């Protein structure tokens, strides 16, 4: 569990490699001091959305709240960068609790590869031929054969990322759902995906894996030549993301649905 808000005084600052983030880190450390991340009441991540994901993965088992400030390009998961009143902003911030997805990808040699994903787990064709996939929910086959460039399973937190680009639905952050979204489906051509409860176990089996090899990616972690991927929510793991109250993650996701 995150520490009490009135104790957000020991702050750790971590930065991406871009000059703007490094300069901001130095300025904030000079002003607020420096604490080791594992001893901090909060971690301030300076960079873009990609760096925020890296930071969440880095401290995924530490249950320390992470407050991002945008020193990158996109910044959907980040707060605005300001040096003033940082402790007060941390004290007033909303905390969104996030459960990642767990992936067990079995490769052609029978080896199981375990990874966690905060945004999404994606399967992609590795060569020129389309992938041929079978999708089962809690052991029951729901889609016998999907011919496509790939398919992804997205969390609510990740639904505005690659999932949205693949024409998947935006999910409210507090919804108990996962989005299963095809990537360039060829057959069935009109299948646009599904919303499933976040408590289910999803199994994606690769058909004709030798002829149509597939890779599986959990956020930034790739496993190649997979034959089966098992996906479920890692309910025992909680991540804590902090947002300014006037622009919390729930508000951002709601706003995103009305953009054109």
Cβ count within 10 A of residue 26 = 12
70 among annotated binding-site residues: no
49 among annotated binding-site residues: yes
256 among annotated binding-site residues: no
73 among annotated binding-site residues: no
Phi and psi torsions of 208, nearest 5°: 55, 50
77 among annotated binding-site residues: no
Active-site entry in 41, 49, 219, 230: 49
CA-closest candidate to residue 152, choices 167, 141, 142, 140 = 167
96 among annotated binding-site residues: no
Strand partners, 181: 152
Question: What's the DSSP call for residue 83?
Answer: -
Q: Are 160 and 118 in contact (CB under 8 A)?
A: no
79 among annotated binding-site residues: no
Q: Which of left, alpha, beta for 91 (phi over 0: left; psi -120 to 50: alpha)?
A: alpha
157 among annotated binding-site residues: yes
Give the span between the Cα atoms of 194 and 178, in whole angstroms: 8
119 among annotated binding-site residues: yes
80 among annotated binding-site residues: no
Give start and end residues of each alpha helix (H) in the chain. 19-32, 49-58, 86-92, 162-165, 249-256
109 among annotated binding-site residues: no
Catalytic status, residue 49:
yes
| Distance, CA of 218 to chain centre | 8
Max Cα–Cα distance, the chain, nearest Å: 59
168 among annotated binding-site residues: no
Q: Are 92 and 111 in contact (CB under 8 A)?
A: no
Which residues belong to the annotated binding site for NAD(+)? Answer: 49-50, 119-120, 149, 157, 160-165
Binding residues: 49-50, 119-120, 149, 157, 160-165
Q: Which residue numbers are catalytic?
A: 49
């Amino acid at each position: 569990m995150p520490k009490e808000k009135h104790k957000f005084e020991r702050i750790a600052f971590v930065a991406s490699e871009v000059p703007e983030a490094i300069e901001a880190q130095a300025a904030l450390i000079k002003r607020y001091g420096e604490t080791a991340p594992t001893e901090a009441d909060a971690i301030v991540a300076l960079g873009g959305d990609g760096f925020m994901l890296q930071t969440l993965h880095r401290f995924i088992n530490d249950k320390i709240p992470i407050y991002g400030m945008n020193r990158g390009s996109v910044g959907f998961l980040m707060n605005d960068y300001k040096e003033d009143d940082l402790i007060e902003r941390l004290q007033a911030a909303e905390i969104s609790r996030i459960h990642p997805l767990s992936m067990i990808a079995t490769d052609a040699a029978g080896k199981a590869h375990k990874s966690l994903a905060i945004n999404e787990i994606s399967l992609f064709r590795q060569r020129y031929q389309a992938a041929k996939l079978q999708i089962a929910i809690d052991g029951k086959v729901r889609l016998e054969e999907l011919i496509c460039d790939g398919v992804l399973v997205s969390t609510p937190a990740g639904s505005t990322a690659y999932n949205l680009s693949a024409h998947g639905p935006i999910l409210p952050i507090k919804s108990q759902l996962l989005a299963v979204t095809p990537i360039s489906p060829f057959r069935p051509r009109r299948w646009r995906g599904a919303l499933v409860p976040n408590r289910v176990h999803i199994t994606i089996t690769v058909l004709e894996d030798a002829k149509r090899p597939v890779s599986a990616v959990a956020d930034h972690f790739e496993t190649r030549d997979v034959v089966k991927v098992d996906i479920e929510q890692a309910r025992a793991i909680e991540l804590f993301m902090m947002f300014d109250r006037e622009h919390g993650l729930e508000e951002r996701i709601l706003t995103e649905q009305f953009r054109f």
